[in-house]
Amino acid sequence: MVGFDADDTLWRSEDFFEEAQDRYEDIVGRYIDLSDSTAREQLYGIETANLKVFGYGVKSMTLSMIEAAVLLTEGRIDGADVHRIVQIGKDMLVHPVELLDGVTEAVEEVARRFPVVLITKGDLIHQESKVRASGLSSTFSRIEIVSEKDPQTYTRVLRELEVEPGQFVMVGNSVRSDITPVLTLGGWGVHIPYHLTWQHEVQAEPPSDGDLPRMRTLASMRELPETLTALTDSSPA
Ligand SMILES: [Mg+2]
CA 130 from chain centre, in angstroms, equals: 13
* Mean pLDDT of the region 189-198: 89
* Mean pLDDT of the region 71-98: 96
CA 234 from chain centre, in angstroms, equals: 29
* Mean pLDDT of the region 189-193: 96
Report CA(8)–ligand 1 centroid distance (Å): 5
Report CA(149)–ligand 1 centroid distance (Å): 10
Domains of the chain: 2-12+97-234 (3.40.50.1000), 14-93 (1.10.150.240)
Residues sharing a CB contact under 8 Å with residue 145, sequence separation 6 or more, in sequence order: 120, 121, 122, 124, 127, 128
Sheet containing 116-121, strands listed edge to edge, beginning at the edge strand earlier in sequence: 142-146, 116-121, 2-4, 169-172, 188-191, 215-217
Name the packing angle between helices 58-72 and 39-54 (round to 10°): 130
Rounded CA-CA distance 150/152 in Å is 5
Phi and psi dihedrals of 30, rounded to 5?
Answer: -80, -15
Phi and psi dihedrals of 150, rounded to 5?
Answer: -125, 175
Report CA(4)–ligand 1 centroid distance (Å): 9
The pLDDT mean for the chain works out to 92
* Mean pLDDT of the region 90-95: 94
pLDDT-above-90 percentage for the chain: 78
DSSP letter for each residue of 146-177:
ES--SHHHHHHHHHHHT--GGG-EEEES-III
Report CA(120)–ligand 1 centroid distance (Å): 7
Q: The whole model's pTM is what?
A: 0.89
Report CA(20)–ligand 1 centroid distance (Å): 17
Report CA(67)–ligand 1 centroid distance (Å): 25
Report CA(9)–ligand 1 centroid distance (Å): 5
- H or E segment and range at residue 216: strand 215-217
Identify the pLDDT of residue 201: 74
Rounded CA-CA distance 70/116 in Å is 44
Is 170 a residue whose pLDDT tops 90? yes
